[in-house]
Amino acid sequence: MPAALIPKEEVLARLLEVFREYGYEGASLAVLSEATGLGRSSLYHHFPGGKEEMATSVLAYLDGLLKQALYAPLETMASPNKKLGAMLAVLDEVYDGGTKACLLERLCASAGRPVIGGPLRRSFELWLTAFETLGVDAGIPRAVARSRAEDALGRIEGALVVGAGTGNKRVFARALKDVRATLLANKETVAS
């Protein structure tokens, strides 16, 4: 039997790129095949469940990346603020300064498919829980930390959307800066 052309993790990484650029419906097997360098049959060998299994496997692979990017910093001895800085630095890199789309957002249009919607929601929750946990670590009441986490993720996702629609990267840079300043802050807004 022929040796694997590329490691399975590399296959997943390339599939991820396609799904996050084109979404689920837009990611045709032709494109997925070209991106991985594997023929259709090879893809079906790795993912007997077809395109849906490719998408769910990619979501599981993303969960691993999220754990690296968001949960690894949580387990260090650094201050909550430093941990947040580490998380946001990785996100800035992953989204290439706001020029690359988010897989979670691109899959939302296909959340109606049960095999997508379930894992998708779990990936959202994984991210939210990381932010929430960081807030709790910083001494913020859990309910508040949870709301802040949702708002922070919303800021990031929305900045990527506006960036994709307008080509403006500064929105994303400001979003990261704002999350940096507000997620853990004892803040109040003062009108003058």
Binding residues for a copy of itself (CB under 8 A): 21-26, 101, 104-106, 108-111, 120-121, 123-125, 128, 147, 150-151, 153-159, 161-162, 164-168, 170-171, 174-175, 178, 181-182, 185-192
CA distance 137 to 74: 9
CA distance 145 to 116: 27
Question: Least separation, in Å, of the C-beta of 99 and DNA?
Answer: 25
Binding stretches for DNA (CB under 7 A): 1-6, 27-30, 37-42, 44-46, 48, 50-52
Residue with tokens 């988010």: 102
Identity of the residue numbered 40: R
Selection from a copy of itself, DNA, none that 58 binds (CB < 5 to 8 A by kind) is none
Selection from a copy of itself, DNA, none that 165 binds (CB < 5 to 8 A by kind) is a copy of itself
CA distance 125 to 52: 21
Residue 166 burial (10 A CB sphere; 0-12, 13-18, 19+): exposed
Q: Which is nearer to a copy of itself, 41 or 189 (CB)?
A: 189
Question: Least separation, in Å, of the C-beta of 116 and a copy of itself?
Answer: 11
Question: Least separation, in Å, of the C-beta of 3 and a copy of itself?
Answer: 35
C-alpha to C-alpha distances, 171 to 78, 94, 148, nearest whole angstrom: 28, 16, 19
Selection from a copy of itself, DNA, none that 39 binds (CB < 5 to 8 A by kind) is DNA
Identity of the residue numbered 54: M
